[in-house]
Amino acid sequence: MVTKEQVDHIAHLCKLKFAEEEKERIIHEFNVTLKELEAFNQIDLENVAPTLGVNKHVQRLREDIVGPSLDRDEVLENTVEKQYGYFKLLKIVE
């Protein structure tokens, strides 16, 4: 059962604000979903072998090959802003 405090906590972590009506709707929808998912707890898996992967194909990865690097100045000449020999980006996270 999802509580108002849990919704408030998650909203705070995500820096979201909800009106009280929205919170009630979110709580209701979460609880309906959780109730529907409870049906999975009733499935008998006693004789079902656990699976680590759904297919038997082996991933074929290419070999890492060391090659010549690009010249830093050549790469940075196409950027809008650079600083200390690196790309300068806008601040995304506070």
3-state percent helix, strand, coil for the chain, nearest multiple of 5: 40, 5, 55
Contacts 24+ apart (CB under 8 A), 19-22: none
Q: Going by C-beta distance under 8 Å and a sequence separation of 6 or more, which residues neighbour residue 3?
A: 27
Rg, C-alpha atoms of the chain: 25
Provide the pLDDT for residue 5.
96
User: pLDDT-derived band of residue 9, with 50, 70 and 90 as boundaries?
Assistant: very high
Domain boundaries defined on the chain: 4-42
Question: What's the mean pLDDT when you consider all of the chain?
Answer: 91
Q: What is the mean pLDDT of residues 45-58?
A: 79
Residues 75-92: tens digit of each pLDDT: 999 898 999 999 999 888
How would residue 54 be classed by pLDDT, with cut points 50, 70 and 90?
confident
- Bridge partner list, 82: 87
Name the CA dihedral angle for 42, 43, 47, 48, rounded to a multiple of 10 degrees: -140
